[in-house]
Amino acid sequence: MEWTIRQVVNELTSNPIENTVDTLKFGDENNKIKKIAICFMPTYEVIKQAIKQGVNLLICHEGVFFQHDDDQVVESEVGQKKWKLIQSSGIAIYRLHDAIHHEYQPDGIMEGLLHHLDWMDDVEEHKEIATIIQIPKRKLSDVIDYVKHKLNLSTVRYVGDLSMNCSRIAMLVGYRGGGLTAIPAFEVDQVDLVIYGEGPEWETPEYIRDANNQGNRIGAIILGHLESEESGMRYFAKRIEKRFPTIPVEFIATEQCIKWK
């Protein structure tokens, strides 16, 4: 069976989301699909690689032009060069952000991260923002080493005492590490540890600092935005392969650009 871009896009979401960024950014929705690529970040290099591989539909999670609300091309030389690459190639780009977070149950990005960490069987509860897991008691240093190994990370940032014991953990992907989302995991869900992508440094880390100075033993592992969410899109690519077995599907990884020396 041949699929058009519009037919595939319609299969990705079932309920319209108000003010969504999940739209076809480039391309003709009536074109027949030859090959699909999935990525987390539609970087200039990722787009070039997709074009080289014969992809005519790229499904990405984050925006093309360096901002969340990305309907407008950023007026910069870099943005214009990227725009010209896309237009000259004819590649279609669809952004899947809101639906995979809010419509998929559980959150599709969270599910992919948990699968990658082999923690799906340890899930206690999927909440709207966080997932609570319970693992055998381990030191924070051991949890950090495990996460780095499973996600192939050379470094992560952390808050807390490396010798503290962790068992009950709240997982928060992406930009969910702020105080309004992470602190309730400690106060309400009584977790020992939060693992999140990113958030304001003056919120959750400072809460943990004060809590520990008051005699508590809690901590955080800060993965980075890409590092916490790319596993979700990698897992999503497998779902697409199963849903559309007649269409070639590739996952294109995004190289980390924020590095530690």
pLDDT, tens digit, 9 for 90 and up, residues 121-158: 999 999 999 999 999 999 999 999 999 999 999 999 99
Give the pLDDT band of residue 1 (cuts 50, 70, 90): confident
Is 70 exceeded by the pLDDT of residue 18?
yes
pLDDT tens-digit series, residues 96-107: 999 999 999 899
Is 80 exceeded by the pLDDT of residue 14?
no
How far, in Å, are 16, 118, 184, 193, 210 from residue 181 at the CA level? 25, 24, 6, 13, 17
5-102+229-251 and 108-222 agree in CATH topology: yes
193 by DSSP, 3-state: which? strand
pLDDT at site 50: 98
Give the pLDDT band of residue 74 (cuts 50, 70, 90): low
Instruction: For residue 242, give every residue at least 6 positions away whose Cβ sits within 8 Å of its Cβ, in sequence order, or none.
Output: none
Mean pLDDT value of segment 207-228: 98
Is residue 115 annotated as involved in ligand binding?
no
Answer for the pair 186, 172: CB distance below 8 angstroms, yes or no.
no
Is residue 225 annotated as involved in ligand binding?
yes
Task: Report how far residue 82's alpha carbon sits from residue 68's, in angstroms, rounded to the nearest whole number.
Answer: 17
Is 70 exceeded by the pLDDT of residue 178?
yes
Tell me yes or no: is domain 5-102+229-251 CATH 3.30.930.10.
Answer: no
Break the chain into its structural domains and give their ranges. 5-102+229-251, 108-222
Answer positive or negative: Cα dihedral of 200, 202, 165, 140: positive
pLDDT at site 72: 64
Answer for the pair 41, 49: CB distance below 8 angstroms, yes or no.
no
Mean pLDDT value of segment 83-94: 96
pLDDT at site 15: 78
What percent of the chain shows pLDDT beyond 70? 98
Is residue 61 annotated as involved in ligand binding?
yes
Answer for the pair 12, 39: CB distance below 8 angstroms, yes or no.
no
Mean pLDDT value of segment 209-220: 98
- The architecture of the domain spanning 108-222 is 3-Layer(aba) Sandwich (3.40)
Instruction: For residue 209, give every residue at least 6 positions away whose Cβ sits within 8 Å of its Cβ, in sequence order, or none.
Output: 159
Adjacent-strand bridge partners of 194: 170, 220
